[in-house]
Amino acid sequence: MLAGILSVARRNNPRDDITGALICRHDLYLQLIEGPAPAIDALYSRIQADDRHFDVRLLLEEPMGVRLFPGWAMLDDEAPSLFWSAQDVEAGALETARPDELRAPFVRLSKARPAGIG
């Protein structure tokens, strides 16, 4: 299922000037989406309506300025880039995290994988 989602993202995101990254671990998926606000809003609406996604929550919305993943239609990272354990997530760590804490795994990932076509 994840491969199908990534395939569609990698096909459609360049058309919509969207870049970003998807961090996957266990049953937790964190996604950073970059691009024009109207395109991101439309994508987010599609994600919410897609039955392959559940418990979709917007944790942070802010202008980025410079993109972290300009060369990636959608980078997928299955490595342990996250800073939270499953227990932390269960206890609500994502909902109480500061904006810099939410950005940190993506900043770290962008430095480890700065360019690409995925």
Could you state, in chain order, the average pLDDT of each consecutive group of 10 residues for the chain (118 residues)? 81 92 80 94 92 86 89 77 75 90 86 65
Burial (CB < 10 A; 0-12, 13-18, 19+), residue 9, is buried
pTM score, two decimals?
A: 0.79
pLDDT at position 80 is 59
CATH of the domain at 97: 3.30.70.100
Confirm whether 117 is domain-assigned: no
Confirm whether 75 is domain-assigned: yes
The end-to-end CA distance of the chain, in Å, is 17
What secondary structure letter does DSSP report for 39? H
- Residue 13, domain extent: 2-112
How far is the CA of 111 from the CAs of 31, 45, 68, 97, in angstroms? Answer: 16, 29, 8, 21
Residue with tokens 């360049």: 14
Confirm whether 118 is domain-assigned: no
pLDDT tens digits, 28-48: 788 899 999 999 999 999 999
